[in-house]
Structure 1
Amino acid sequence: MFLTAFAAALLTCASPAPLPDNLWLEDIDGPRSMEWVKAENAKSLPVLQGDRRYQLLHDNALAILSATDRIPAPDFIGEAVFNFWQDREHVRGVWRRATLASYRTGKPTWETVIDLDALAKAEKANWIWKGAECRAPAYDRCLVELSNGGKDAVEIREFDLKTKSFVAGGFKLTESKQTVAWLDPDTLILTRDWGPGTLTESGYGYIVKTLKRGQALSDAKEVFRGDPKDVSAQPNVLRDGEGRQVVLLERGVDFFHTRYWQLTDKGTVELALPQKSNIQGLLHGRIILTTGEDWKYSGADIKAGSLAAADPALLVPPSGDEIVISNAVPVIFTPGPRQSIDQVKVTRGRVVAVVYDNVRGRIFSFADRGEWGWPQTALPAADNSSINLASASDRDDQVFYSVESFLVPTELNLADAASAKAEVAFRMPGRFNADGLMVEQFQAKSKDGTLVPYFVVHRKDIKYDGSSPSLLFAYGGFQLSKLPLYDPLVGKLWLERGGVFIVANIRGGGEFGPAWHEAALKENRQRAYDDFFAVAEDAIARKITSPRRLGAYGRSNGGLLMGVALTERPDLWNAVVVESPLLDMLRYNHLSAGASWVGEYGDPDVPAEAAWIAKYSPMQNLKPGVKYPLAYITTSTKDDRVHPSHARRFAARLGEMGDPYLYFENTDGGHANGADPEANARRWAMHYVYLTRQLMD
């Protein structure tokens, strides 16, 4: 392993804790914990922010994050286009709107609806924007979600879009992790913390109630109850563009299995939807969903990973053994073995889906032709791209979608899904010099023989002698795909300075559908890590880089991946950024929202499952005497999803063993670890100072 003088100087960062396993660091805001955080930050900040390159990296990051010529992300709300915007003048942000005609000009005339900076100042509060749920079809009032410091828990207030003010005496829900929807103009349906005994072990509500205008929370009427062992229970009000409404009650048995009930005037009835599925919307009264498992419905065999449409009336289990069959074709699209459906939106009359083929995106529009099936139409998009569905209108068939790739800046299109005609609404200017850069896609053979694709972005004149500083990125969990995105920060702070960027499409993700994810679930978790190591070894074998010049970055579940990379293969890297991580996998289910992820990782309270979790859990696999690369471990005090003690205790344990490390804890920002452009600029500048010192110096 390679310890630079920089790393050796940081041996003094260690400060042993007096209690076994440092469990006292689980007291998030406790004085003792915060004193430890303060001391650790005081050690790391002079190294990271005192570096001569920090200021330029910070300034470049801030210029990108607060640029006024960014594409304003569109959100159809009724006839208008809404956007939430942050820049140097609006640090917390403004929620604003424009007419569609104005937006299409590329230079919209914006009307501010909520100025979050002014609101936070007036209320002396640390408000972070979390979104708004507006009532259809009038779209005249919204439920605005405000977070204290970026937490997942939010306060909700009713807001009038016409007067641009909070409604006096309107709905106001105190802080909680809560899911709320409009049932009608004067009734909400919601789940939240209703008091003692009303939360699951994951910290989410499992009791769904309706709340009428003017009622106190204590007077809300219960309509559904799950189980405390569930992840959660929540409402999902589906509406189509023709005015139909279906109210679903979703009981999350675990992170990936959900049982569905429909709320009707006569009560609730369970629907025979596949438990592994994602509800995407409502079209002509039919539920649009993607399936995570094979499903038999209306006489059709629907494969896992498919896009389908189901009539709620046919989802009520029939009496006896009869099968009710409709003339309507339920299967919209079935992906091939190297394809996956990534995103779906429903317009007034169409289903629009992004399909990836070997991690390259295409976009299709599907029309319901009854017994004639679902003819598809391709919408314009460049080859070898990543595509993101931004927003779809329920008034017509217009849809916003963006197209980008590693080296081509994002282009936002407005298309008519029916005619397949599209126009460019915005083009992001280039944020870094891509001249001389190229992208290649390779495959690495994992330990069990599986071929794992990965992208490499590098200079065309790269020397294949192992000397190129390279950053390897992956996630490998929860069926989330890592796609060829245009990342201005990677480009400006890394690629433009001579770095190589590698993105690994390891198992556990969704790049090739449900099977790719399920291959690394629970007892098979090690496969994701083996895939990651295989990509690193392949890049080294090709002499793109070498262990001296190779670093790795991951956040959240990717932070767990980094912990495993550090403990299982310390020989492969000279830098590892461990951000917002899970690290103590034998306690994760008792911390914050951890219990909700048992479906992904397994249950460490079950001895048989604890046995295979313990084999890779980073906290339990730190060993004295091993030469670990200098790790940069970072998290947020306000992270109420992944408990900050994972990062704290891991760093403390490294210190106890006498190993060097860097630790920084942001006291704001939540799980996203950055609440505003300035905070994010600091965050990324510190990341790249560390990577520069470890890999480029």
Structure 2
Amino acid sequence: MTRLPYPPARRDEVLDNLHGTAVPDPYRWLEDPDDPATKEWLAAQSALLDSALRRRPKFKERIAELLRSGTIGPPVWRGERQFFMRRTPDEEHAVLYTVDPGGSERALIDPMRLDPSGLTTLDSWQPDKEGRRLAYQISVGGDEESKLHVLDVATGEVVEGPIDRCRYSPIAWLPGGEAFYYVRRLPPGEVPEGEEQFHRRVYLHRVGASAEDDDVLIFGEGLEKTNYYGVSVSRDGRWLTISASRGTAPRNDLWVADLSACDPERPELVTVQQDVDAQTSLSFGRDGRLYVFTDRDAPRARVCVTDPAQPGYEHWRDLIPEDPEAVLSDFAILDDLDRPVMLVGWTRHAISEITVHDLVTGERIGEVPTPGLGTIGGIVEHPDGGHEAWFGYTDNTTPPSIQRYDARTGETTLWAASPGAVEVPAVDTEQVVYRSADGTEVRMLVISRPGAEGPRPTILYGYGGFGISMTPGYSASILTWVEAGGVYAIAQLRGGGEEGEQWHRAGMLANKQNVFDDFHAAAEHLIATGVTTPEMLGISGGSNGGLLVGAALTQRPDLYAAVVCSAPLLDMIRYEKFGLGATWNVEYGSAEVPEEFAWLHAYSPYHHVREGVAYPATLFSVFQSDTRVHPLHAWKMCAALQHAQSADRPILLRNETEVGHGARAVSKSVDLAADQLSFLADHTGLGE
């Protein structure tokens, strides 16, 4: 290939002096999407992409075919009704269904009926405690600006909404379905300019009343602007729980109120924990006990019990103690038994398992059979008690299914499979262990065709942040790549949650370089063991994973042949100024603090692009409606790399409109995945 004719991008003499360090920013003008120069540059980049990206129709066809498996979600019971999500093979979005008391099933919310364009997504939903009303939130065009509605479940009639500014709001219904607690941002006119995404409050809302005039402020006034709030009401309606966390911090403050002893409009909150470096949540059992899920003094988490009237730490007693190896993920209580039990979900090196414990003593008395070595997506119990539990299951070759466990028989059976029948290729999955630069053992899943030998084109994927674990799961993209002869590796890096909260903290703030070192070491292990070569190795990551591969390509451009960098953070000096960036300084640090600026400046990918370096072929994929990570990160980095690139490997930008950071229509997901695989195939040598 010859060097592409990149669209001209002016380099301005913009220089900031931060804590005595000169920080150039020649492409700051690209931060303004409404600037005519930015629009012209983006249009030229789109034209360049269309001319330079060799799209492979077979990838698109196969990804679409494998996604015809559809999806199925776990059941939720309220009163005599059941609710669940399902996407059939030909649907663009999953549909929310209800099963009426007589057993008849019907669609309750279909995003495509709301908006045939496919741009509307169902962000969340919560039925009331009796199953008569349902609060749901929708957004349009990927902006995730959820608007809240309430409908009558029996008739399907919308009885309220829209209520705006409800992004990421939990809904906590009071008994009777006439009122709920929820979280809403203050109006834009009441907050400083540029802070419209923050300043949340907890309110009590009565159905039919004016959200603007009649909502009762419950909590949040005068607290940290970036706080997120959780709110829940126990099944019997007695106990209100409110939690607060600064941005995405791995810690929270927690309060509880006895609504039977106070006015719901003026709950008398009792502190459970405050200013403690730990995450804790509460569950009120039907047996009158309070169950405490916490990583306080237990980085791999534990379950404690106490009296709800004495919720403080000093009264906690271990029921399920911390495991030295497995991370406790969730639990469910089955109490319609002669010997009530607690089902406890764990991940052991990112592989899920469920154990059975005596509810009174915590003694382990068995385990729940699971379909294989995969991922369990939460354990669901009936809120009114019972002997059954349901959990989602998937692995690298198994589309999502819902399994049912019967504690009376000890058996697990398939409750609901994904609705589409697809022929899944045979693959081998191996979990390998390698050592990072500092000697730390790190694990990696390596997925390949059975019997494949010799170096092969390989994609290395990683994330490494926010305590999020990389666990096995059905992926049409991975299966398509492996079926075509490639290898797909998923590194379980520090910064994730695979080994508990200590593992997370070993890859955040001042320790962020550990994540990049773990990733480089994964690449070197794949090369050293003959799986691939630098010329056949591509890397891929999105969001925080986009930061990961951005740092990888600037730190070790010699190690990688191709990069797909999706919805990335790349300017780590100014990231707090855009999107939800200010909520992430608890993970990365703030450029306003001298010591933390030094951490960020040491790896910020945009600031480490150097002229005359042979960089890997790179495809940036970003989404113009992304309100979490602004696409300006990729725009600026793309311009910088196109200017600096000394090799003939292309630097391309895929800038997509009317989609955002999260959910999107299936067809748009297919197009994106096919383009990414096509690019990686061309630059790692994967044949047709």
| TM-score (structure 2 length as normaliser) | 0.87
For residue 359 of structure 1, the aligned residue among 350, 361, 365 is 350
CA distance in 2, matches of 1:376, 1:663: 55
Are residues 1:135 and 2:136 paired? no
Counterpart residue type for residue 688 of structure 1 = L
For residue 152 of structure 1, the aligned residue among 122, 128, 144 is 144
Q: CA deviation at 1:512?
A: 1.0
CA distance in 2, matches of 1:287, 1:202: 37
The aligned residue for residue 605 of structure 2 is 618
Are residues 1:600 and 2:587 paired? yes
For residue 253 of structure 2, the aligned residue among 255, 259, 265 is 259
CA distance in 2, matches of 1:677, 1:93: 10
Structure 2, gaps ≥5 residues long: 15-24
Q: 1:72 to 1:47 in 2, by over 3 A?
A: same
Q: 1:559 to 1:460 in 2, by over 3 A?
A: same
CA RMSD of aligned residues (A): 2.9
Deviations along 1:418-467, whole A, 9 cap, x unmatched? 653321124457855544x4222222111111111112122343333x3x
The aligned residue for residue 308 of structure 2 is 312
Q: CA deviation at 1:576?
A: 0.9
Are residues 1:204 and 2:198 paired? yes
The range that moved more, 437-446 or 505-514, is 437-446
Q: 1:126 to 1:450 in 2, by over 3 A?
A: closer
Q: CA deviation at 1:544?
A: 0.9
CA distance in 1, matches of 2:13, 2:669: 34
CA distance in 2, matches of 1:359, 1:178: 26
SS of residue paired to 1:412: strand
Q: 1:560 to 1:278 in 2, by over 3 A?
A: farther
CA distance in 1, matches of 2:444, 2:8: 36
CA distance in 2, matches of 1:203, 1:418: 49
Contact 2:172–2:231 (Cα < 8 Å) also in 1: no
Q: 1:114 to 1:426 in 2, by over 3 A?
A: closer
Are residues 1:449 and 2:450 paired? no
SS of residue paired to 1:643: coil
Matches within 5 A, 1:222-621: 222-227=217-222, 229-240=224-235, 243-254=236-247, 255-264=249-258, 265=262, 267-272=268-273, 275-279=277-281, 281-284=283-286, 285-294=288-297, 305-316=301-312, 325=315, 329-336=317-324, 338-345=325-332, 351-369=342-360, 372-389=361-378, 391-395=380-384, 396-408=386-398, 410-417=400-407, 419-427=409-417, 431=422, 434-435=425-426, 437-464=427-454, 466=455, 468-491=456-479, 493-621=480-608
CA distance in 1, matches of 2:300, 2:244: 21
The aligned residue for residue 20 of structure 2 is none
SS of residue paired to 2:213: helix
Q: CA deviation at 1:233?
A: 4.2
CA distance in 2, matches of 1:440, 1:93: 32
The aligned residue for residue 74 of structure 1 is 74
Deviations along 1:633-657, whole A, 9 cap, x unmatched? 1111111111111111111222233
The aligned residue for residue 38 of structure 1 is 43
CA distance in 2, matches of 1:421, 1:47: 55
Counterpart residue type for residue 470 of structure 2 = K
CA distance in 2, matches of 1:19, 1:682: 38
Q: 1:176 to 1:484 in 2, by over 3 A?
A: closer
SS of residue paired to 1:490: helix
SS of residue paired to 1:504: strand
CA distance in 2, matches of 1:508, 1:462: 32
Q: CA deviation at 1:226?
A: 4.8
CA distance in 2, matches of 1:228, 1:646: 30
SS of residue paired to 1:627: coil
Q: CA deviation at 1:47?
A: 3.2
Q: CA deviation at 1:45?
A: 2.8
CA distance in 2, matches of 1:346, 1:43: 57
SS of residue paired to 1:354: strand
| TM-score (structure 1 length as normaliser) | 0.86
Contact 1:366–1:375 (Cα < 8 Å) also in 2: yes
Q: 1:9 to 1:308 in 2, by over 3 A?
A: farther
For residue 217 of structure 1, the aligned residue among 203, 212, 217 is 212
Q: CA deviation at 1:386?
A: 2.6
Are residues 1:163 and 2:159 paired? no
For residue 117 of structure 1, the aligned residue among 112, 136, 150 is 112
The aligned residue for residue 21 of structure 2 is none
Deviations along 1:325-357, whole A, 9 cap, x unmatched? 57xx43324221x32123445567754332122
Q: 1:289 to 1:567 in 2, by over 3 A?
A: farther
Name which structure has the greater RCO, CA cutoff 8 Å, separation 6+: 1
Contact 2:257–2:269 (Cα < 8 Å) also in 1: yes
Contact 1:190–1:234 (Cα < 8 Å) also in 2: no
Q: CA deviation at 1:526?
A: 0.6
CA distance in 2, matches of 1:502, 1:156: 40
Deviations along 1:72-117, whole A, 9 cap, x unmatched? 2233132444333445754345322346997xxxxxx741212322
The aligned residue for residue 17 of structure 2 is none
Counterpart residue type for residue 113 of structure 1 = L
The aligned residue for residue 186 of structure 1 is 178
Contact 1:178–1:205 (Cα < 8 Å) also in 2: no
Q: CA deviation at 1:597?
A: 1.2
Deviations along 1:598-637, whole A, 9 cap, x unmatched? 1211122101110121111111111111111011111111
Deviations along 1:521-547, whole A, 9 cap, x unmatched? 210111111111111101101111000
Q: 1:253 to 1:405 in 2, by over 3 A?
A: closer
Q: 1:690 to 1:110 in 2, by over 3 A?
A: farther
Q: CA deviation at 1:568?
A: 0.4
SS of residue paired to 2:459: strand
Contact 1:346–1:392 (Cα < 8 Å) also in 2: yes
The range that moved more, 546-555 or 658-667, is 658-667
Structure 1, gaps ≥5 residues long: 103-108, 295-301, 318-322
Q: CA deviation at 1:487?
A: 2.1
For residue 681 of structure 1, the aligned residue among 647, 661, 670 is 670
CA distance in 2, matches of 1:112, 1:383: 32
SS of residue paired to 2:661: helix
Contact 1:11–1:658 (Cα < 8 Å) also in 2: no
Deviations along 1:501-537, whole A, 9 cap, x unmatched? 1111111111111111111121011111111111110
Aligned residues: 650
Contact 1:208–1:234 (Cα < 8 Å) also in 2: yes
The range that moved more, 544-553 or 124-133, is 124-133
